[in-house]
Structure formats: C-alpha cells, structure tokens
C-alpha cells in the first residue's frame, strides 16, 4: 500500500490506529474530514517513505508528539484539530523537505522551536488556534513565508510589525502595544475602544466581499479587503482568516469571489460578491449593547456553478458557529438552496453580554477537494445583526414601577390565564391562522363536540377532527390527545412553543394548543388530501399520482426530515415515519405530521407502540428490537415509505396464521438481481423518468440497510434525490 485516502467520508468511531501500523511503505495518507475519536498512532512518525500526511478532526485523543521521528521525506504535514497536547518537538523544524505544515486547532503549549527557522522550503506554516506562549521569535518577522500564529497566548511580539499580507498575528498575544490592539483577544480591546455606553451600537450590516450597498432598506458596509485580518474604519467590526489554499498559485485575491450574473433574486447586489476562507473565518461585531440579537446570514454559491468545467458537481461543506456555539453542521449552500446562484438565508438569535458578537465559519475537510486552489472553504455573502425587538406589552410592564416580584407574579397569572388554567375555559382564544382567533367553545362546536362524523384520522396520540370555522372560510385540524399523565403533558407543554415556532414547507404547521383540565388539544393547518395512506391505499381515494407527483412527494419528505434532524435547537427524531403520518396539501405537497410527540409516552407505553407497529415493517430493526433511537431510525422508515410511493403498494407485515411478503424483501431481491425498475407502479403505464426512478429506488435500499451506520444521513438524502439524476445528464455519455 503506497497511497490511501478516506477524506471527507463522515466516518466516525475510534481512530483506526491498528489499521495503519503495518503500512511501512505508505507514501500518501489522507484522513481529513471525518469524526474519529482516540489517539494517533506514534508509528506514523517513523514511516520514512511518507511524503504526504493529512489528518483532521480527531476528538479527545490527548495525543502528544513522540520523542523521536523519521519523516525525512515528508513535504506536506497537516495535523489539524486532532486534540494534540504538549509542546512542538524540535525535530519538526528538521524536516528539511517540508513545504506545508499545519498544526492548527490543537492544544499545543510552549514556544515555537528555534529549529523551525531552518525550514528553507516552507511555503505555508500554521500554528493558529493553539495555546502557545513565550515570545514570538524575531526570525518570524524576517521570513516571507505565509505564516499564521493567530489565536494563541504569546506574551509578546519581539519585532516591529509592519503590515504584511503573509503574516497573521490576529489575537496572538496576551498583551499588545499595537494601537488597534489587533494582537490581543477581541474582548480585551473593548475596554479601550468602547469605554462608555454612548460609544455602543445596536446593529451592524456587512456586505462580505463587496462594496457598500443598500439592501432591504439598510446600508451594508463594504468588506473588500484582501488582508488576512481587518478592522473596519469605524472600529465596530473586524474579521480574521486562517488556513491556506495549499497552492503556490493562490494569493490573497482568492479571498474575494465575484459573480456578475446568474443570481436569481430581485435584489441580487448582496449576492454578487462573497468572502471565501481556506479553513476558518471569524467576524466580530464590537461595541454592542448587552441583550439579545437577531443574526441573519446570507449565502449564495457563486463559485461552484459552471457546467462546462464540472465545478457544479463540487460540494462546499462547512460548519457555522455563533458565540462559539455550533449552529450549522455540514452546511452545503447549493444543496440547501437547491442549486448554485440561489440565495440561502439563515436566521439565528444570540446573546451579547460583553459587547462582542462572534460569528465563525469552519471547514472540517468535508465536501469536494482537489484542483488547487480548491476554494472549497467557508463562503459568506452578507451579515446582518439587529436587536431582538421587545414586545409592546413587555415595554409597558417594565415602565410600571412595581417591585420585580409583583411584575413576575402578574406575568405568571397572565400566562396561566392564556393557557386556560385560570377563569372559564370558554374565554380562551385559539389561533386558527394569521391574525385569526376563535373561542374554545367555537372550536369545539366546529368539531360537533368531537363527533365521529368529523373524525379524519386517529393514531397512538389521539384522534383528529376537521373543524370548519368563520362560515367555512377557514378549516383546521384539531387533534384531541388521549389522556396521559400530568408529567407527560407538562413535558409536551415545555416543548409546545418550540414546536409551534417550527416553520418549514414540508412540516404540518402547529397553529395553537389548549391544555386544560381533562382536555388537551393541538390545532394544525388542515390538509385537504389527508395522508399518503388515504390517498394511495384508501378505498375512497380518487386521486391519481403521476411520476412527477411521486418524485416531489419523496423529495418533500426528505427535506422535512432533514429540517427536523438538523434543526439548530431541536435535533429531533420523529420515530414514527409511515404513510399515515405524511399528509398532502391541496397541491400534493408532502408535509410531515406528529413530530415532537414522542414526549407523550412513558417507556412502557413506547414499548407497547413498538409491539403494535413493528409487524408493519416501517420500524428500523434496532428500534423495534432494542428500543435504540438515532436519526437513522427515521432514515430507515423513509426508505420504506418511498418504496410504497414508487410502487403504489403497501408494505405488508407479518400476519397471524399465515405469511405475507414484505415489499422491502421484494426490493432487496430486485436490487440483487438488477431488476429494481420492476417495482415501479404499473399504473404509471411506463410514463416516468427512468433515471429518477432508479436513483430513488436505489436510495430506498440504501436507507433500509440493516446496519444504521451504512444508511445515508438524512442531510444527504434531499441532495441525492434532487441532483443525482441531473448530474448523470452532465457526465459524458459512453
């Protein structure tokens, strides 16, 4: 074995140290962009033939460099974010062939070895994001190598620093005489740059990578510097870049990318430019008042977009952090926006307590690589920071000069009344749409006092009723929850407002709820075409589904589940994905229902549900047998549902006294025999997209793999469903 790479494969578990111990002839070894844990094997440092070694993102290793090493032929050494501790050994500086050295994002301490001064061939050296101390040696100021010492704890810089595009010293030191205090932690500089309340601000708008521009009634400041770090003329914000594109041809101009056409948005000026970082990019908003802020991040993929060069096939995948808390993991702009040149906007809330708001973007080695300079690191088009507005009611409450305990009591009583715990429950108003409310009595009356004639569905969580209100102009679905323990209802109540805030085109919208004594209701938007089970398999259904309908339903389910799994706060597993829980609106768009309901049941009740549902074949084996729950449980169920949609057949389960074949078994046999297309519903009369069909059927088999680790992540499924057939068309035909 001379070359081996498993980069960007999202692999996890223990670092496969034993796997490499006998590969003494290895020359090229790349393990970037995975999620391993454990310790790096010390043997790697004695492979004398090794020329290229790149490893990243190994957690909890506690690894220290071995005392001796024999890597005389190494020219690229990247050990980024590998949890390495201890000091940098002198022998690193004696690897005379080194061109690229990256030991960033570790826990290294001590000084920079003097031997590094002798790395005569070095083109890029990064020790960023460590805990190095002592003095930065004078020879650092003399070299012309691209060198990154940012985010460390050095005591001082031992040379006069002039503006140099190749040297990054942002937040490198514990103290600084620099007038802008560029070298110290951004929070420390606040004491001199924002000494009083009047000097603080409440909002900030940045056009990343572009000129100043008006957008949405706000002026976005210019951000077109090509330096490694930059402080705005107003001193109210700054950015810092880390990493390198690992190409002699790359330069600082790569940090700014521009696209003059193609953006599909009426106000495209904000998306014509973007800032791209090789590995890590942080923006800092300074001098903000204490409080809660809305953070809006604007993205558009304007680099990987050309069909002629096949760059449209590339994937940009990175993580987003706000105040050092990860908000997005493995974020792919083009996948989320359904293609390049499409704006993608993400909204977050953040707390500011020390005048600084930090927004960071990190490339963990995932996505596409190659074709240096790859330009595949984080990309951002614009940033907006505004205060979260206080409600007028809260402002009035704050004006009243009552003791704080009285104010709290009044607010609590108001909340209890709103929830129906005080006063007559008939007075409780229920939201049935935007700015539309009815009384509880009107709502119950619209269901004809929960008449069986108004029942449109039932399940483990209760029965669902149709309620026509406002003279038939507004229709909602009312779920009357089965009686549960007080603790379970309180658990649901804790999650209620979070569930209500969920907004996605493929999730049934929760409009309101009522939790009174002996009566627990959830009010949802009404789906006129009921569920997939009703539409495809119901005896009274008159709906006809062509191939486009079926394909879009599958894609909608995938996007809805992806939103639940990757939600920045919830990370929710549904647990009960089946045809009955996928509803269809008037345009046959798929919407997932019953999400967030798992909190309603005790462990014993959950086991009973598993016992009832397992024979139907939708439930993942690890869940049905062991009760083990991860997001891969939903992936399995999703695979079964899309088989039902494509085939038009219900997945049969085990029936007492005789056997019945599972649709899933048929799919496994067909996959093995290369006859998956035989599963396509004969009612389509052969009118369907063959490339889409084979893609989605193959995906169904992948999703239902008996091993959870071999199933795809739900985050990858929408991209596979939507783009693989299109990408096939771009490839050369043989």
Q: Out of 244, 512, 576, 634, which one is annotated catalytic?
A: 576
Query: What is the Cα–Cα distance from 117 to 716, expressed in whole angstroms?
Result: 45
Helix (H, G, I), strand (E, B) or coil at 64: strand
Q: How confident is the model at residue 727 (pLDDT cuts 50, 70, 90)?
A: very low
**DSSP 8-state class, residue 145:** S
Do 591 and 506 touch, CB atoms closer than 8 A? yes
Span 530-726: which CATH code? Answer: 1.10.510.10
Owner of token pair 């997005």: 328
- Segment 525-541 shows an average pLDDT of 88
Q: 710 or 654: which carries more pLDDT confidence?
A: 710
Q: Could you give the residue range(s) of every CATH 2.60.120.430 domain in the chain?
A: 190-306+313-387
Query: What is the Cα–Cα distance from 650 to 327, expressed in whole angstroms?
Result: 38
Q: 191 or 434: which carries more pLDDT confidence?
A: 434
Each residue's pLDDT tens digit, 436-452: 888 898 999 999 999 98
Each residue's pLDDT tens digit, 18-54: 777 778 889 999 999 888 888 888 888 989 999 999 9
pLDDT at 659: 52
pLDDT at 189: 66
Q: In what order do the strands lie in the sheet with 100-102?
A: 3-5, 28-31, 52-56, 76-80, 100-102, 124-126, 146-148, 167-168
Q: 123 or 483: which carries more pLDDT confidence?
A: 123
Whether the predicted pLDDT of 706 surpasses 80? yes
Q: Could you give the residue range(s) of every CATH 3.80.10.10 domain in the chain?
A: 3-183
pLDDT at 733: 42
Each residue's pLDDT tens digit, 590-642: 999 988 776 555 566 666 667 667 667 888 988 888 778 889 999 999 999 99
Do 524 and 479 touch, CB atoms closer than 8 A? yes
Each residue's pLDDT tens digit, 372-409: 557 889 999 999 999 987 643 344 444 444 455 455 55
Fold of 429-525: Phosphorylase Kinase; domain 1 (3.30.200)
- Segment 256-263 shows an average pLDDT of 72
Span 3-183: which CATH code? Answer: 3.80.10.10
CA count, 13 A, side-chain hemisphere, 67: 0
Beta-carbon count within 10 A of 97 CB: 15
**Highest averaged pLDDT of the listed ranges 353-367, 476-490, 644-658:** 353-367
pLDDT at 656: 43
**Highest averaged pLDDT of the listed ranges 183-187, 273-277, 653-657:** 273-277
Q: 187 or 436: which carries more pLDDT confidence?
A: 436
pLDDT at 252: 74
- Segment 329-357 shows an average pLDDT of 89
131 is in an annotated binding site: no
- Segment 116-136 shows an average pLDDT of 93
Q: Could you give the residue range(s) of every CATH 1.10.510.10 domain in the chain?
A: 530-726
Q: 66 or 461: which carries more pLDDT confidence?
A: 66
Do 346 and 299 touch, CB atoms closer than 8 A? yes
Fold of 190-306+313-387: Jelly Rolls (2.60.120)
- Segment 355-375 shows an average pLDDT of 82
Structure tokens at 412: 């609590």
pLDDT at 95: 95
Cβ neighbors of 118 (< 8 A, separation 6 or more) are 93, 94, 96
Query: What is the Cα–Cα distance from 478 to 439, expressed in whole angstroms?
Result: 14
pLDDT at 425: 44
Least confident range from 128-132, 244-248, 352-356: namely 244-248
Active site residue 576: yes
Query: What is the Cα–Cα distance from 593 to 557, expressed in whole angstroms?
Result: 11
């Amino acid at each position: 074995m001379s070359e081996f790479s498993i980069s960007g494969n999202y692999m996890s578990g223990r670092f496969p140290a034993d796997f490499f111990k006998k590969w003494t002839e290895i020359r090229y070894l790349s393990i970037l962009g995975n999620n391993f844990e454990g310790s790096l094997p010390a043997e790697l440092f004695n492979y004398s033939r090794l020329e290229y070694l790149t490893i990243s993102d190994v957690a909890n290793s506690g690894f220290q460099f071995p005392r001796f090493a024999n890597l005389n032929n190494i020219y690229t050494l990247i050990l980024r974010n590998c949890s390495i501790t201890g000091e940098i050994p002198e022998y690193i500086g004696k690897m005379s062939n080194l061109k690229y050295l990256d030991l960033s994002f570790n826990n290294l301490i001590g000084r920079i070895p003097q031997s590094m001064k002798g790395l005569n061939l070095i083109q890029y050296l990064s020790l960023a994001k460590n805990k190095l101390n002592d003095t930065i040696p004078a020879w650092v100021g003399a070299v012309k190598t691209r060198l990154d010492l940012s985010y460390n704890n050095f005591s001082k810089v031992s040379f006069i620093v002039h503006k140099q595009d190749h040297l990054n010293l942002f937040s490198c030191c514990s103290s600084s005489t620099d007038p802008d205090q560029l070298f110290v932690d951004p929070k420390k500089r606040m004491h001199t740059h924002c000494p009083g309340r009047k000097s603080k601000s409440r909002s900030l708008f940045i056009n990343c990578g572009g000129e100043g521009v008006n957008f949405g009634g706000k002026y976005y400041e210019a951000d077109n510097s090509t330096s490694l770090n930059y402080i705005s003329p107003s001193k109210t914000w700054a950015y810092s870049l880390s990493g390198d594109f690992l190409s002699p041809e790359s330069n600082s101009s790569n940090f700014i990318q521009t696209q003059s056409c193609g953006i599909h948005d009426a106000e495209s000026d904000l998306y014509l430019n973007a800032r791209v970082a090789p590995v890590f990019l942080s923006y800092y908003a300074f001098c903000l008042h204490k409080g809660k802020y809305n953070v809006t991040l604007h993205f558009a993929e304007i680099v990987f977009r050309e069909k002629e060069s096949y760059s449209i096939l590339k994937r940009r995948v990175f993580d987003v952090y706000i105040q050092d808390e990860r908000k997005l993991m493995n974020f792919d702009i083009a996948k989320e926006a359904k293609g390049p040149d499409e704006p993608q906007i993400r909204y977050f809330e953040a707390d500011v307590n020390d005048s600084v708001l930090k927004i960071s973007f990190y490339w963990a080695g995932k996505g596409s690589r190659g074709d240096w300079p790859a330009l595949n690191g984080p990309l951002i088009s614009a940033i907006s920071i505004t205060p979260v507005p206080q409600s007028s009611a809260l402002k009035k409450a704050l004006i009243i000069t009552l003791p704080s305990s009285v104010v709290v009591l009044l607010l609590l009583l108001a909340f209890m009344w709103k929830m129906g715990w005080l006063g007559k429950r008939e007075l409780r108003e229920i939201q049935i749409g935007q700015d539309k409310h009815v009384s509880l009595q009107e709502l119950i009356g619209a269901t004809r006092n929960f008449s069986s004639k108004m029942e449109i569905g039932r399940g483990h969580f209760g029965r669902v009723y149709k309620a026509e209100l406002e003279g038939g102009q507004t229709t909602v679905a009312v779920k009357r929850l089965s009686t549960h323990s007080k603790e379970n209802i309180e658990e649901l109540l804790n999650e209620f407002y979070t569930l209500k805030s969920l907004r996605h085109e493929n999730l049934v919208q929760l409009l309101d709820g009522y939790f009174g004594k002996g009566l627990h209701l959830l009010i949802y938007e009404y789906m006129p075409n009921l569920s997939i089970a009703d539409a495809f398999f119901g005896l009274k259904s008159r709906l006809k589904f062509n191939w486009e309908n079926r394909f879009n339903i599958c894609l909608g389910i995938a996007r809805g589940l992806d939103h639940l799994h990757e939600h920045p706060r919830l990370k929710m597993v549904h647990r009960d994905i089946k045809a009955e829980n996928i509803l269809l609106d008037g345009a046959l768009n798929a919407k997932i229902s019953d999400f967030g309901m798992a909190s309603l049941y005790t462990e014993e009740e959950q086991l009973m549900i598993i016992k009832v549902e397992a024979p139907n074949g939708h439930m993942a084996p690890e869940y049905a047998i062991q009760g083990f729950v991860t997001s891969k449980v939903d992936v399995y169920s999703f695979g079964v549902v899309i088989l039902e949609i494509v085939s038009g057949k219900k997945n049969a389960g085990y029936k007492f006294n005789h056997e019945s074949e599972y649709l899933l078994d048929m799919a496994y046999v067909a996959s093995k025999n290369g006859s998956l297309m035989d599963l396509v519903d004969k009612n389509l009369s052969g009118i369907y997209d063959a490339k889409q069909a084979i893609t989605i059927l193959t995906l169904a088999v992948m999703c239902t793999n008996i091993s959870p680790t071999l199933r795809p992540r739900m985050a990858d499924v929408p991209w596979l469903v939507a783009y693989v057939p299109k990408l096939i068309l771009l490839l050369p035909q043989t």
